[in-house]
Amino acid sequence: MRRAIDLGQNGPARGVNPQVGCVLLHPDGTLAAEGWHRGAGTPHAEVDALSKLGEAGARGLTAVVSLEPCNHTGRTGPCSAALIDAGVARVVYAVSDPGDVSRGGAQRLLDSGVDVIGGILADEATEAIRPWLVVARHGRPFVTVKWASSLDGRTAAADGSSQWITGAAARQDVHRRRAEHDAILVGTGTVLADDPTLTARDERGELLPDQPVPVVVGERPVPGAARVRQHPRGLVESGSRDLGRVLGDLLDRGVRSVFVEGGPTVASEFIRLGLVDDYLVYLAPTLIGGPHTALDRLGVETIDDQRRLRVTDVTPLGDDLLIVARDTLRRTP
């Protein structure tokens, strides 16, 4: 199963389809074939592996798959049917398919007399396709909230100046992560105060090949002269402060991951509503003090209500630290 999970990582990390791998084994446990999904419209991992078998075919083999074989016909046929038709004797999978249309492959296999075992290395497989599972299970894009602050939690000095708290290595890491998301989101207040471009750039200031779509949340219009209006991907103005509605609209537009860089008001609202999947906190070894904190009210009125996070990674970036965390109250994803 771990090999199947690793194979899946060869496929595209972004898009409507998950990264899935499949290993076909002979009854004695030796390898017969393996495959992975290469993106929408291409054979799924099971079919890719089956296509590599010789004349002996798949009769009596075991298929080890990182995601439950699908049970629907889209741009390709159902993998559960392909496995049944090929004569596979047993299917072992890690994570159940959460899709309303695609789920049910395991039951179809069982009904056809195939031995099925699920849940093998489920936690590892879940982590490997976590962003895809968030979209499938929650019906919204995967949300990353980022901020950069001093050790005392300040994002700007008393006069509002904030460039720069963190060093060049941390700022470049932010640009790389922007490029890994489908959209970058801020509030109207950030646009009016900072006039950002919301682009992803390299060390020389040149645009990276992958650019997130800029999204501005709020009811106030973005000024006509704002630099974000020159963004190569165009500008999405939500016209609303309803974050659930905004995320739903973005998903309809094909946006499956959102990088939130708004100020404390927008970031705090995402957190308050329980819409954050990953926190990226860039900490600089400096003290600023004053009123400009990274977050404002989160609905925490007593210490018992504090929002506990689980740190999943700590990375030094020059003199700064990047802390990656997620909510302890939510199961992955």
Which amino acids are annotated catalytic? 46
Peptide bond into 164 cis (omega under 30): yes
**Contacts of 17 by beta carbon, 8 Å cutoff, 6+ apart:** 11, 37, 39, 40, 132
Residue 99 phi, psi dihedral angles, 5° rounding: -70, 135
User: For strand 21-25 and strand 31-36, is the pairing parallel, antiparallel, or unpaired?
Assistant: antiparallel
Task: Tell me if 215 sits within 8 A of 190, measured CB to CB.
Answer: no
Residue 221 CB-half CA count within 13 A: 3
Partner residues linked to 323 by β-bridges? 281, 314
- Max CA separation in the chain (angstroms): 74
In order of 27, 157, 173, 238, the CA distances from 213 in angstroms are 49, 29, 18, 12
Contact by Cβ (8 Å): 182, 211? no
Q: What is the CA radius of gyration of the chain?
A: 23
Cβ count within 10 A of residue 264: 18
Kind plus residue range of the DSSP H or E element containing 194 = helix 188-194
- What stretch of H or E contains 142? strand 142-150
